Amino acid sequence: MAEFVRIYEENPNPREIAKVIKVLRNGGLIIYPTDTVYGMGCDITNTKALEKIARIKGIKLDKANFSFICADLSNLSDYVKQIDTPTFKILKKALPGPYTFILPGNNNLPKEFKKKKTVGIRVPNNNIARTLVKELGNPIISTSIRDEDEIIEYTTDPELIYEKWDNLVDLVIDGGYGDNIPSTVIDLSGDEPIIVREGKGSIDI
């Protein structure tokens, strides 16, 4: 059974945040709010946790397109090749916000992602998600939790999410109702920006 923890975005309780960090450091999986849909995540440095998420999603880890949740743009150089000024300007204008940017990865990527040429970076405009990354000290690997329902793609109610996922993850954060529109995905790894998926973020950036 997963733990169910209520955290308020305006003022995340340090004690509750510490509880979540402990789960992440111990290789646990969490479900947490972002500025779009709820996501499932784990510590990027924990191989067993990464493998567990890939298993739940039914994909091979080296084929997985997980996002890296960062607290701000200062984490970028850890995993992304040097980016030019126009690209940085786009990122600075759009983040924090409901976007996933695909950028060229560098040689510091965790070994599980070494084969990947690109990496999806997210800096959500959500205080809970960013506080977790800051306290953890490195990005959280993340994937959206989809619903099998044909009409409802994403569950927005944390209590319903908990009911569905409590046997698969270690902790579910109730950060209030989530959104049901995913992030806008923009590929900045080539010469021109390419819109991969139009979601919550405006494409006029």
Question: Residue 103's CB: how many other CB atoms inside 10 A?
Answer: 21
What is the residue-wise DSSP string for 130-155?
A: HHHHHHHTSPEEEEE---S-SS-SS-
Q: Half-sphere exposure of 116 toward its Cβ, with a 13 Å CA cutoff?
A: 25
DSSP 8-50: -SSS--HHHHHHHHHHHHTT--EEE--SSS-EEEEETT-HHHH
Q: What integer is the mean pLDDT of 182-197?
A: 94
Q: What is the pLDDT of residue 78?
A: 87
> Which residues fall within 8 angstroms of residue 58, CB to CB, at 6 or more apart?
none
* Mean pLDDT within 15-26: 98
Q: Which pLDDT value is given to residue 62? A: 84
Q: Give tens-digit pLDDT for 74-97.
A: 878 889 998 999 999 999 999 999
pLDDT for position 110: 84
Architecture per CATH, domain 3-197, reads as Alpha-Beta Complex (3.90)
